Chain A
Amino acid sequence: MSYTSAETMIAVAARSLPNHARIFVGIGLPNLAANLARKLYTPDNILIYEAGVIGAEPLRLPISIGDPCLVTGSLAVCSFHNIFANYLQRGLIDVGFLGGAQIDRYGNINTTVVGDYRNPKVRLGGSGGGCEIAIFAKKIITIIPHDLRHFPAKVDFITSPGFVGGRQNRTALKLPGGGPEKVITNLGVLEFDADGEMILTHVHPGVTVEKVRENTGWDLNVASEVKETDPPTPEELRVMREELDPDGVYLGRRKSKTA
């Protein structure tokens, strides 16, 4: 059965979620991964959205972070300040998802600017709640395309700190959350070693280690035994395609989400 790289990333992310956990979810691939996991693997997880919705069980694909479908039937709704103060800063979030325009070897993420902040080549969205998720969540899973543009040696701007200059650096800064745990790309899965540096642990079926290294902007550490990820199962694909994203907006099954 054929499948897209988005479907692979969603399936791999879904399988990596713990059960009985509070998951801070963003729109797009993280939302699909968290809901796929809720349907197949982690039914007791509580999905929390930045707009202030706790325990959402959306009946349709949310099209924005504040989609009304998140509210109807949820457990609780709180204010914008409360979601960051009471839930994130208080340390109640087990897993947070991030994406970005750039990620470096220490898992620092840039969603602010390409080029110089004061003289930008491309002005991006900025932090939103990304910086807070990065600082406070116990574990961070990042889903990001794997190429030289997204994996530079140095990010142009640290929007959401990972291990900053290494694991000890993050500890010295007293950032409360656990920092980056996993980076899931269209080529494979990367984790973080004792120094807080990214290390390739898995490649997706048909991807070589060499290809991953070629698409990474620094001399990438590679685990002594690189495993192959399991491709999406028929059941995972069925739930994604029939229940979660029937129009294929995020599954890479149509040309663009604005088509």
Chain B
Amino acid sequence: MQNDCEKKSKVMDLYTAVKKFIHNGDTIYLAGFTHLIPFGVAHEIIRQGIKDLILCRATPDLIYDQMIFAGCARKIIFSWSGNPGVGMLQGFRKRVEEGKLEIEEYTHFGLATRLLAGAHGMSFYPLKSIRGSDLPLYNHYIKTINCPYTGEEVTVVPALNPDVGVIHAQRADQEGNVHLWGIMGEQQEVAFASKKLIVTVEEIVDESVIRSDPNRTLIPGFLVDAVVELPWGAHPSYAQGYYDRDNAFYIKWDEISRDEEQVRQWLGEWVFGVANRQEYIQKLGAENILRLLPRNSFSNPVNFGIYL
């Protein structure tokens, strides 16, 4: 977060944003629950060879599988590891089965609660879940306390405050006031919990567009350190209203990720073989892009009124 509220553009290119804010050994959270997953940033992290990262995400998804294969990860903090709708997350799974990847595991609610505590400036938060499951036997950060009012035993989890949070959204202005719609996931909690925040967007819009619909602003610009315009920055995941999930790729990854050599080739072609996201999109090609475009469905405008 910027320390001052001075109005200024934080717009920069992807290379600069990653170079400036993400370093070896950082704890990072690339947000987005199946929606708006910041693949563009992940690929730039891989290209820059950043290592020893503690990667936090409720669902590691293909994005962390690719980073694990590329050697970026020291540890994964997560709550469900799979290729959503397809099957297992092969790279993650293989390394965990071989004892080569450290994990710290929660339930979805447990991890979401860690983020909320971090976002709220609390050191821990309680929840009534996890009790009765075997998770606390293997994750000693999950503890219990007695409610000081009722005496009831509740589960507690510690705050999660990533060094860097990364969010992809539909649009933001140059200062980083973010409009995000569709599945909201944990993006707002990540924004408030993280020490630094990178925002990539489908489009940078004028401040007046943000001000025309303030209820849609999930993240205020003063939390944001970098704004990068990155169309299709969430592909092969999706951006509500912009493009659909490229499910064919999610299925293809299941096959690629079973074979280290195929992964090396894929990374060579689609990550190291392109200089930036623009080249990735060009490589993706018009046919693929057209295939993923949805038809329009606009909301009814609301009237905020003008009060003089």
Contacts and interface: CB of A to CB of B under 8 A. Distances in A.
A161 B107 contact: no
Interface stretch (A167-175, A208-216, A217-225): A167-175
A97 B287 CA distance: 38
B254 interface: yes
Interface residues of B, number: 61
B129 A52 contact: no
B283 interface: no
Contact of A68 (B80, B128, B294): B294
Contacts, number: 179
A257 B86 CA distance: 8
A120 B97 contact: yes
Interface string B232-254: 00000010100011010011001
Interface string B175-192: 000000111111011000
Interface string A39-61: 00000000000111100000000
Contacts of A52: 33, 183-185
A118 B105 CA distance: 12
B108 A80 contact: yes
A233 B115 CA distance: 47
Contacts of A130: 107
Most-contacted residue by chain A among B93, B97, B153, B186 (CB, 10 A): B97
B69 to A, nearest CB: 16
Interface residues of A, number: 58
Contacts of A75: none
Given A66-B84, A72-B297, A258-B86, A80 B33 contact: yes
A128 B244 CA distance: 23
B228 interface: no
Given A117-B138, A120-B97, A127 B133 contact: yes
Interface of A: 27, 50-53, 62-68, 70-73, 77-81, 84-85, 88-89, 112, 117-132, 134-136, 157-161, 164, 170, 173-176, 257-258
